[in-house]
């Protein structure tokens, strides 16, 4: 099959690893990091990518693979002229862990978990000392010291909801560096540190075309993605 894989840039290492091992021809389309913070913008930008159904040489894709989870309903309403395949998950961490069941099991046992991975760490957006110092400097330059301190207190407020910094290890060359970084973040934030071994199983099945109904939703042309939290399917097509 000829496929396009649309996903956040923070997933590029995992995506390229699995597409390189796939028998299918898979074009990776990277979206800007941070779109999940603005669900409406995520929907708009991803829809633009889905509207493209031909590769660079004008050959039609058999399907578009959407490497996002529900993401605060950011993918709700998306549709295309060719099939869309979406992993059943609340966010992209499901793809990193290998199954929605593993995600849910860990989430239930570790309330207040903030996930770290190679791509997320490379984005420079993960909570920790480096992000704190960079943000503080920006606020000081724009608003002055007193206002900067107030804004930082507001900035740090949401972090009180979290208790765990959990690193998902896919065994990349920079794994030791990423692990140490996550540990430093946990210490700075007074969170517990933990790590999980990531699994390429779900991502590999995704790009290989092994779309088991329990793991993936296949959206037919003209159908739209809908939220479905009444059962374990998470999303549905109508």
* Packing angle of the helix pair 175-189, 129-143 (nearest 10 deg): 60
212 CB-side CA count, 13 A: 9
Give average pLDDT by consecutive 10-residue segment, the chain, 238 residues. Answer: 95 96 97 82 92 93 92 86 93 92 93 93 84 81 82 79 95 96 94 96 97 95 87 82
Reported as a single tens digit per residue, the pLDDT across 103-155 is 999 999 998 999 999 999 998 778 888 887 888 788 888 888 878 888 888 87
d(C-alpha 37, C-alpha 8), whole Å: 12
Question: Are 170 and 118 contacting, i.e. CB atoms less than 8 angstroms apart?
Answer: yes
Determine the distance from the C-alpha atom of residue 198 to the mean position of all C-alpha atoms in its chain, rounded to a whole number. 14
d(C-alpha 26, C-alpha 4), whole Å: 5
Rg value, the chain, Cα: 19
d(C-alpha 161, C-alpha 134), whole Å: 22
Strand positions, DSSP E, 11-89: 25-31, 63-66, 84-87
């Amino acid at each position: 099959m000829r496929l396009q894989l649309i996903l956040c840039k923070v997933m590029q290492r995992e995506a390229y690893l699995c597409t390189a091992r796939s028998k299918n021809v898979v074009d990776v389309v990277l979206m800007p990091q941070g779109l999940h913070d603005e669900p409406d913008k995520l929907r708009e930008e991803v829809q633009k990518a889905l509207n493209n159904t031909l590769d660079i040489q004008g050959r039609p894709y058999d399907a578009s693979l959407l490497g996002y989870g529900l993401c605060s309903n950011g993918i709700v309403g998306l549709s295309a002229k060719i099939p869309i395949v979406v992993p059943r998950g609340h966010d992209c961490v499901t793809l990193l862990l290998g199954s929605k069941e593993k995600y849910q099991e860990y989430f239930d046992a570790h309330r207040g978990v903030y996930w770290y991975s190679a791509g997320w760490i490379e984005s420079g957006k993960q909570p920790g000392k480096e992000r704190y110092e960079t943000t503080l400097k920006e606020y000081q330059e724009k608003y002055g010291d007193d206002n900067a301190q107030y804004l930082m207190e507001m900035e740090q407020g949401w972090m009180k909801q979290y208790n765990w910094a959990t690193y998902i290890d896919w065994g990349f060359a920079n794994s030791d560096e990423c692990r140490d970084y996550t540990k430093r973040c946990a210490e700075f934030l007074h969170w517990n540190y933990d790590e999980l071994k990531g699994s390429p199983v779900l991502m590999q099945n995704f790009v290989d075309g092994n779309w088991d109904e329990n793991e993936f939703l296949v959206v037919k042309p003209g159908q739209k993605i809908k939220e479905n939290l009444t059962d374990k399917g998470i999303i549905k097509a109508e």
